[in-house]
Amino acid sequence: MKIQFNIRDLRYTDNGRELNKQLSDWLAAVPFESSSSKPVKAIISPHAGYSYCGNTAAYAYKQIAPEGISTVIVLGPSHVVCLNGCALSNFSCYRTPIGDLPLDKKVNAELRETGLFDTIDVRSEESEHSIEMQLPFIAKIMEKKLGSFGIVPVLVGSVPSCKQVIYGKIFAKYLADPSTFIVISSDFCHWGHRFHFAPYTANTDVPIYEQIAFLDRQGMDVISRLQPNAFNDYLKKTQNTICGRNPISILLNVSLLFPYWIYLYLFLYM
> Residue 216 falls within a domain, yes or no?
no
CA distance readout (Å), 36 to 22, 39, 57, 262, 267? 23, 7, 15, 13, 9
What confidence score (pLDDT) does residue 195 get?
58
What confidence score (pLDDT) does residue 219 get?
82
What confidence score (pLDDT) does residue 194 get?
66
> Residue 266 falls within a domain, yes or no?
no
Q: Strands 86-88 and 150-156, how do they pair?
A: antiparallel
Distance (Å, rounded) from C-alpha 207 to C-alpha 215?
13
Distance (Å, rounded) from C-alpha 242 to C-alpha 235?
8
> Residue 93 falls within a domain, yes or no?
yes
What confidence score (pLDDT) does residue 211 get?
77
The secondary structure of 140-173 as a DSSP string is: HHTGGGTTS-EEEEEEE-B--HHHHHHHHHHHHH
Distance (Å, rounded) from C-alpha 114 to C-alpha 105?
15
State pTM to two decimals.
0.89
> Residue 23 falls within a domain, yes or no?
yes
Instruction: Answer whether 185's CB lies under 8 Å from 254's CB.
Output: no
> Residue 222 falls within a domain, yes or no?
no
What confidence score (pLDDT) does residue 198 get?
63
- What angle, rounded to 10 degrees, do the helices at 245-255 and 161-175 form? 60
Query: What is the span of the domain harbouring residue 107?
Result: 2-187+243-255
> Residue 236 falls within a domain, yes or no?
no
- What angle, rounded to 10 degrees, do the helices at 228-238 and 245-255 form? 150
What confidence score (pLDDT) does residue 9 get?
56
CB atoms within 10 A of CB 42: 22
Question: φ, ψ for residue 102 (rounded to 5)?
Answer: -75, 150
CB atoms within 10 A of CB 56: 17
Instruction: Answer whether 42's CB lies under 8 Å from 248's CB.
Output: no
Number of H helices, E strands in the chain: 11, 9
Distance (Å, rounded) from C-alpha 188 to C-alpha 247?
12
Q: pLDDT digit of tens for each residue in the chain (270 aa)? A: 555 554 455 689 989 999 999 999 999 999 875 565 567 899 999 988 898 889 999 999 999 999 989 999 999 998 888 789 999 998 999 999 999 999 999 999 999 999 999 998 888 888 888 999 999 999 999 999 988 999 999 999 999 999 999 999 999 999 999 999 999 999 776 665 665 666 666 667 777 777 777 777 888 888 888 889 999 898 888 877 678 889 999 999 999 888 656 666 666 555
The secondary structure of 106-125 as a DSSP string is: HHHHHHHTTT-EEE--HHHH
Closest by CA position to 163, among listed 44, 250, 233: 250
| DSSP for residue 133 | T
> Residue 30 falls within a domain, yes or no?
yes
CATH of the domain at 248: 3.40.830.10
List the beta bridge partners of residue 84.
158
- The total number of structural domains in the chain stands at 1
> Residue 208 falls within a domain, yes or no?
no
Residue 110's contacts (CB-CB under 8 Å, 6 or more residues apart) are none
